[in-house]
């Protein structure tokens, strides 16, 4: 029986991994296609945009988008796996051989934990690096049009005050967590808060004690526009301060998050977003296992008993409610109304206990 269990365990684990990777690959291809079509639409008026470069940009953008959908890939993959096994009566044979539901669920749980660890320590850094590459390629595609192209949300805003006055910086895109910016618009004021000039620039790089702007056009109230190749503007901002304004926790690699948290703390900035992201990545393997528990609780029903469609819809609904819960706790944590550890682990606990209790009721109740 031990050998049979081990053999079946490897078989069930293999079926689950194949189903989960199949769902993951299908969603990946769909996202690449949709993002590529959108990129083609936005670059249709750019003569320098080649089809290969547009495709690479879309391909590098998608992994980070797909990372947020990984729990749903596990949920749908587990449901697909167990429904297929139930339809082919393989679960019936396993039960007849004296193997409980807990025994043929445990291989999928172990596989989900392993996939979650790989996603945290390997996939997350890879997706963050690819996102940086995609931003660099976007800057090359849209660099000739400040503020054009694909922007990060509504752009990034930064305010700096020096002995020369105040400068408000808006950047359409950010690279290297704010060290390099593209698609810039600046509003400069003197020490008495009187407007001096507006500046548009193709790109800017933060260097020691100053910003270096390239492809500059300056507008003032009493003179015509002036074009300059470069422009230096003094700044007292450090990389840590700029990083806190321009970077988002999702774009920081798992291995870099601890140093970002320490540098933000030493600079006096809020670290709730970085701490939450770090705890979410730590909890990711257990969240995937909780999704497997939820999927198993609605997918082990024998097909001839009917009601399979309702069970599947209830599983999808449970996954959606868990997603809503995670977003609510995330917003509460970023508003510093909930501790990041509680915000990251509460959905894991709720999802895992819900699936466990449902299975306990169905199998042993």
pLDDT tens figures, 268-317: 666 778 888 899 999 999 999 999 998 888 877 665 555 667 777 887 88
C-alpha span between 306 and 212 (Å, rounded): 68
Six-digit token pair at 286?
Answer: 């257990």
φ, ψ of residue 166 in degrees (nearest 5)? -115, 140
Answering whether pTM is above 0.95, one says no
Q: What is residue 168's three-state secondary structure? A: strand
**pLDDT profile of the chain (365 residues), mean per 10:** 64 90 92 88 75 85 89 90 82 76 84 93 91 79 50 65 84 77 87 87 86 89 87 81 70 85 70 86 93 85 64 81 89 86 92 86 65
* Terminal-residue alpha carbon distance, the chain: 25
Within 98-207, strands assigned E span 156-162, 165-175, 180-189, 195-207
Q: Tell me if 215 sits within 8 A of 226, measured CB to CB.
A: no
Q: Which residues pair with 201 in a beta bridge?
A: 184, 216
pLDDT digits (tens, 9 = 90+) for 149-198: 444 445 678 888 888 888 888 888 777 777 788 888 999 998 888 888 89
The angle that helices 308-334 and 340-364 make with each other, rounded to 10 degrees, is: 160
């Amino acid at each position: 029986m031990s050998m049979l269990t081990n053999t079946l365990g490897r078989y069930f684990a293999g079926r689950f991994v194949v189903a989960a990777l199949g769902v993951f690959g299908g969603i990946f291809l769909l996202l690449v296609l949709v993002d590529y079509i959108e990129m083609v639409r936005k670059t249709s008026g750019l003569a320098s945009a080649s089809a290969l470069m547009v495709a690479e940009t879309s391909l590098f953008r998608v992994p980070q988008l797909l990372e947020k959908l990984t729990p749903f890939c596990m949920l749908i993959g587990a449901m697909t796996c167990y429904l297929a096994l139930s339809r082919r009566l393989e679960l019936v044979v396993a039960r007849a051989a004296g193997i409980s539901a807990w025994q043929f669920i445990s291989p999928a749980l172990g596989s989900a934990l392993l996939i979650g660890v790989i996603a945290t320590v390997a996939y997350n850094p890879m997706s963050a690096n690819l996102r940086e590459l995609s931003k660099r390629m976007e800057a090359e595609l849209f660099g000739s049009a400040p503020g054009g192209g694909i922007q990060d949300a509504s752009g990034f805003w930064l305010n700096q005050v020096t002995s020369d006055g105040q400068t408000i910086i808006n950047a359409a895109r950010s690279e290297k967590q704010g060290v390099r910016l593209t698609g810039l618009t600046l509003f400069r004021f003197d020490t008495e808060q009187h407007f001096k000039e507006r500046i548009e620039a193709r790109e800017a790089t933060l260097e020691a004690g100053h910003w270096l702007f390239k492809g500059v056009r300056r507008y003032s109230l009493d003179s015509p526009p002036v074009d300059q190749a470069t422009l230096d503007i003094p700044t007292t901002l450090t990389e840590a301060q700029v990083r806190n304004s321009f970077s988002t926790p999702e774009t920081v690699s798992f291995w870099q998050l601890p140093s970002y948290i320490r540098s933000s703390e030493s600079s006096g900035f809020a670290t709730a977003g970085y701490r939450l992201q770090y705890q979410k990545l730590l909890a990711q393997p257990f969240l995937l296992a909780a999704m497997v528990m939820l999927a198993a609780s609605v997918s082990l029903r024998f097909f001839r008993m009917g009601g399979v469609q309702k069970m599947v819809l209830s599983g999808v609904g449970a996954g959606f409610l868990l997603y809503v819960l995670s977003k609510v706790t995330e917003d509460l944590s970023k508003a510093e109304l909930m501790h990041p550890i509680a915000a990251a682990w509460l959905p894991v606990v709720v999802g895992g206990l819900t699936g466990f209790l449902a299975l306990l009721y169905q199998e042993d109740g």
